[in-house]
Amino acid sequence: MAAASDKWKHFERLVAAIHQAADRGAQVRWNETIAGRQFDVTIRFRKGLYEYLTVVECKDYEKAVPVEKVEAFVTKSEDVQAHHAVMASTSGFQEGAQEVARRHNMTLLHVTASSEIDLSAFGAHWVGSVDALHIHRIELAYTDGETKQLPEEAHAMTYYVNNIFIQAGYERGTLNELIQHHLPTFLEGQTEGQKDHVITCRSGTRVTAPNDGEIPLKPLASIHVRVGMTKAGVITGPVMFEPYLLVPDVKVLNISTGEQKTFSQHGLKLGVDTTFVEGQFYEQPQLAMYYFCERVNGDLATIYLIESFQLGPILFT
C-alpha cells in the first residue's frame, strides 16, 4: 500500500498551485533548494531586463503562527537574496508576527476553505442540513508506545474504520463498531468546538486486520478520537458520486492589504509531484489516488494508478 497522506505536503502543493494560477507566466516550483536552503515554493518572473525571485514558506498549524517563525523566515529569505518573501498559513498569524512582516515588507497569506460548495457539476443540489458528529482524527496507541494516525480524508478514514478489526479475548469487531459503541459518551455535553476522547483497551486487546502493511497488527493500549459537532449538508441528485470530490473553493486573504481572492480547487494544477523517479510511489492529493512510476524516458514518465478509495472500499488496479 502507498504511504499515508502528508497533510503539510498537500498544503504546500496547494499554495504552489494557487500562485501558478495567479501568476500566469511565472515559473513556480514546489520544494526547491537554493544555496543549501529548502523553500516550500519559489516563484520566478522577469520584468523588463530583470528577473525576480519570491520565496514562500507554508505553515499548516492548528494555532496562529508565532513571531519567531516569521523572523526566522525573514533571515532565511535574505540568505538567498530573495526579492520578496511570503508566508502562507491555514491558521492565521499572531499580532507580533504581523508587525515583523510589516517591517520587512513581507506578505502574510491566510489560506482557508470556503463554506460554499457548488454541486452543479454533479446535477445535485442541497436540501437542508442536519446536526452531525464529525470525527476529525483517529489515532491508535499501541502497548509498545508506537502510535498510528489514520488518514484524515473522509473516504480513506471510512475504509479503515470498517476494515480495522480489534480483538479482546473472544470478542472481535471493527473499529467502527467500537467507536459507535462509545458515541453516546462522545455526545455528552458536546455543543461546539472539538474534543479529544480516549477509549482505553483492556489487557490483551490487539489489532488483527487489515494485513496491508500500513496498520500495525499488535497489542493495542488505547484509541484516541477527536470529534466535534457540525452542520452536515443533505444532498439529492440523479447519480451516486464520491463525496470527497466536493472540494470547497480556497480563499486567500492578504493580511497586509486586506485583499481576498477565491480559487476553485477543480481548476488548480496540484499534480502529483515535481519530478518522477523510477520505482517510486506518488499520491494525487485531491482524490487520494496512488500511483507507481514504472519508468522515465527523457521528459516522458510512465505511471500507473495502483490504489484509490471509492465510496468507502479500497480499489487496486
3: confidence class by pLDDT, cuts 50, 70, 90: very low
The reported pLDDT for the residue numbered 75 is: 95
The reported pLDDT for the residue numbered 1 is: 44
The reported pLDDT for the residue numbered 312 is: 61
User: For 235-253, what is each residue's pLDDT tens digit?
Assistant: 999 988 777 777 788 999 9
| Integer Cα distance of 142 and 139 in angstroms | 10
Burial of 144 (0-12, 13-18, 19+ CB in 10 A): exposed
Distance, first Cα to last Cα, the chain: 12
CB 87 within 8 A of CB 61: no
Output the CA angle 243-249-250, nearest 5 degrees: 125
* Beta partners for residue 168, in sequence order: 171
The reported pLDDT for the residue numbered 269 is: 76
The reported pLDDT for the residue numbered 251 is: 93
Q: Which has the minimum average pLDDT: 5-14, 116-125, 203-212?
A: 5-14
Q: Which helix (H) or strand (E) holds 101?
A: helix 95-103
Q: Which has the minimum average pLDDT: 25-39, 49-63, 177-191, 192-206?
A: 177-191
CB 284 within 8 A of CB 272: yes
The reported pLDDT for the residue numbered 115 is: 76
Supply the mean pLDDT for the chain.
87
What average pLDDT does the segment 267-289 reach?
73
Q: Which has the minimum average pLDDT: 44-58, 84-98, 184-198, 249-263?
A: 184-198
Whether 293 shows a pLDDT value over 70: the answer reads: yes
The reported pLDDT for the residue numbered 5 is: 47
What average pLDDT does the segment 184-196 reach?
79
The reported pLDDT for the residue numbered 271 is: 64
The reported pLDDT for the residue numbered 149 is: 95
Query: What is the DSSP pairing of strand 250-254 with strand 260-263?
Result: antiparallel
Type of residue found at 100 = V
What average pLDDT does the segment 188-215 reach?
88
The reported pLDDT for the residue numbered 314 is: 66
Whether 99 shows a pLDDT value over 50: the answer reads: yes
The CATH number assigned to the domain with range 7-116+248-269 reads: 3.40.1350.10
CB-hemisphere CA count at 13 Å for 127? 5
The reported pLDDT for the residue numbered 242 is: 72
Every domain of the chain and the residues it spans: 7-116+248-269, 122-235, 271-317
The reported pLDDT for the residue numbered 62 is: 86
218: confidence class by pLDDT, cuts 50, 70, 90: very high
What average pLDDT does the segment 91-96 reach?
92
Strands (E), the chain: 27-34, 37-47, 50-59, 84-89, 107-113, 125-142, 147-149, 165-168, 171-174, 194-200, 206-209, 220-236, 250-254, 260-263, 281-284, 289-297, 300-309, 314-316
